[in-house]
């Protein structure tokens, strides 16, 4: 009978999980799926991501979602080639190429809603209806994004010219209102606004402009010294969140990174493992959207062909992976805030708009699978350990369970054990007789029509085997 020696245990293993993939696949190493983390004092807790519930279903059944926007208290959405105002179709159609539209609005005697996809742009107001912008001075090709500043609406061409309209008149465009973004000779990719600045994103650099009040030509002047040495890989990745801009960026020399621009200061917020995922990502179809809920601000980035959705928590500075019920990318293309600060999400292809909230325990009836994959754990020694007991540190939730399996073979997909179950209604959910191991990975899975309680850590009662 082997002799054993008790060491300093139980050992608490915090479940502070971020992507730790050693390569460009999510199949190996630690990750957190359909959840996020929140630090409270010295402790960090895991929460299930918000669920979704159907809010509305415009008449275009199973139609491609192309954008959603709140303007003057009404929700405008584009499905296929139709624009809907609070679910009612407007007269006319729009171009269906080039993905999701980007929106803005102007003031003036007749306020207008503008939206464009880089190929076609439209104005809307209740009197004139939906009107294609076809002024001779409006560019035939432009990058996605608008910037409204001090009465002027700006767009940018692929050749990096920022063009402006007449004051609060996006029907008529001024041929003299033109400034070239030219510190570097790279091409334009996206236009946006931060605070009182126009932000011109190009291939490998970004330049900042302000309203200089010029009496002739463009009112804009370049903010000297505010050049950002990251450009933009995709206009569809650019999102604004509480005055900050986030996008999928690159330098002239480097691989993809996620950039945060706040107060005109840029920083890389993608971690090394995230950048390993991005390094071989397919950029054909990208969706991005934002969600602000319960003190957390999320920037969500989807790569459709790579079947991957990544969520960045701007406040916790942590990443996780979000999926649909089948473990594929989360098929949301755009978001906005509706009445009573409700969060509205537009589905990629089923013609529906969803409400998002932590009170929803499913995605419109589909169960949310929360997966916590831990790093390889060896207890500080490569000697064999005997795990007599595993105890979960979590809140209690009547009617909820957590499935647990382990892998002692470095995430080998064929070497996972069968699931055992922890009863989360108990004060101290516990598993006994958990076998022996040298290095072990744990997978904790919650898939119930009940919201997962907060989870913090596991306590492992181990004995150390004799060599």
What φ, ψ does residue 175 adopt, rounded to 5°? -65, -25
* Residues 123, 129, 132, 137, CA torsion sign: negative
Give the pairing of strands 220-222 and 206-211. Answer: antiparallel
Assigned token pair, 189? 């990719």
CA 115 to chain centre: 22
Structure tokens at 172: 């008529």
Place of tokens 């890389």: 268
Using the structure block, give the residue that is written with the tokens 């306590």. 459
β-sheet bridge partners, residue 310: 301, 321
Q: Which two tokens stand for residue 449?
A: 């029509």
Contact assessment for residue 310 and residue 252, using Cβ atoms and an 8 Å cutoff: no
Q: Is the peptide bond before 123 cis (omega within 30 degrees of 0)?
A: no
What DSSP designation does 432 have?
A: E
Q: What is the pLDDT of residue 311?
A: 98
- Domains along the sequence of the chain with CATH: 4-17+374-465 (2.60.120), 51-366 (2.130.10.10)
CA distances from 45 to 65, 107, 392 (A): 34, 45, 12
C-alpha distances in angstroms, 218 versus 69, 98, 185, 211, 267?
28, 29, 20, 9, 29
How much of the chain is in helix, strand and coil states, percent to nearest 5?
5, 50, 45
Bridge partners, residue 152, by sequence: 149
Q: Give the closest residue to 207 by CA, choosing from 277, 253, 147.
A: 147
Contact 349, 284 (CB under 8 A): no
pLDDT at 6: 47
pLDDT of 118 reads: 96
Mean pLDDT by 10 residues, the chain (467 residues): 55 89 93 96 94 93 96 97 97 96 95 97 97 96 97 98 96 96 96 96 98 94 95 98 96 92 96 95 96 96 98 97 98 94 96 96 97 94 92 94 97 96 95 95 96 95 78
pLDDT at 9: 57
Q: Which of 261, 162, 259, 254 has the alpha carbon at shortest distance from 217?
A: 162
pTM of the model: 0.95
């Amino acid at each position: 009978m082997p002799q054993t020696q008790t060491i300093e245990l139980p050992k608490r293993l915090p479940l502070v999980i971020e992507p730790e993939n050693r390569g460009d696949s999510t199949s190996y190493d630690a990750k957190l799926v359909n959840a996020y983390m929140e630090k409270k004092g010295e402790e960090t807790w895991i929460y299930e991501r918000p669920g979704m519930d159907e809010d509305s279903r415009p008449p275009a059944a199973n139609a491609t979602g192309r954008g959603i926007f709140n303007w003057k208290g009404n929700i405008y959405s584009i499905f296929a080639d139709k624009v809907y105002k609070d679910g009612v179709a407007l007269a006319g159609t729009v171009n269906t190429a080039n993905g999701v539209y980007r929106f803005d609005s102007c003031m003036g005697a007749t306020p207008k809603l503008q939206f464009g996809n880089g190929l076609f742009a439209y104005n809307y107001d209740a009197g004139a209806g939906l009107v294609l912008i076809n002024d001779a001075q409006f560019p035939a090709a432009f990058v996605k994004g608008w910037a409204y500043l001090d009465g002027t609406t700006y767009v940018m061409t692929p050749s990096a010219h920022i063009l402006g309209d007449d004051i609060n008149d996006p029907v008529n465009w001024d041929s003299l209102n033109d400034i070239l973004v030219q510190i570097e000779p790279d091409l334009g990719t996206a236009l946006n606004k931060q605070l009182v600045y126009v932000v011109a994103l190009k291939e490998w650099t970004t330049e900042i402009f302000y309203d200089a009040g010029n009496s002739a030509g463009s009112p804009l002047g370049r903010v000297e010294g505010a050049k950002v040495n990251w450009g933009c890989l995709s206009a569809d990745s650019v999102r604004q969140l509480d005055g900050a801009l986030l996008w999928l960026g690159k330098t002239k020399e480097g691989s993809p990174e996620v950039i945060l621009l706040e107060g005109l200061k840029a920083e890389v917020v993608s971690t090394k493992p995230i950048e390993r995922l991005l390094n071989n990502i397919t950029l054909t179809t990208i969706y991005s959207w934002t969600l602000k809920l319960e003190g957390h601000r999320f920037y969500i980035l989807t790569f459709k062909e790579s079947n991957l959705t990544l969520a960045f928590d701007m406040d916790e500075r942590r990443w996780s992976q979000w999926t649909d019920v089948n473990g594929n990318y989360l098929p949301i293309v755009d978001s906005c805030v509706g009445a009573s600060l409700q969060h509205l999400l537009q589905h990629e292809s089923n013609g529906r708009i969803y409400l998002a909230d932590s009170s929803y325990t499913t995605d419109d009836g589909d169960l949310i699978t929360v997966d916590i994959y831990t790093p390889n754990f060896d207890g500080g020694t490569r000697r064999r350990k005997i795990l007599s007991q595993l105890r979960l540190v979590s809140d209690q939730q009547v009617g909820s369970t957590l499935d647990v399996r382990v892998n002692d073979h470095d995430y080998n997909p064929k070497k996972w054990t069968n699931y055992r179950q922890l009863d989360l209604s108990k004060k101290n959910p516990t598993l006994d007789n958990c076998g022996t191991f040298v290095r072990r990975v744990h997978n904790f899975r919650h898939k119930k029509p009940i919201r997962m309680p907060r989870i913090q850590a596991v306590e492992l009662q181990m004995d150390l085997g004799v060599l």
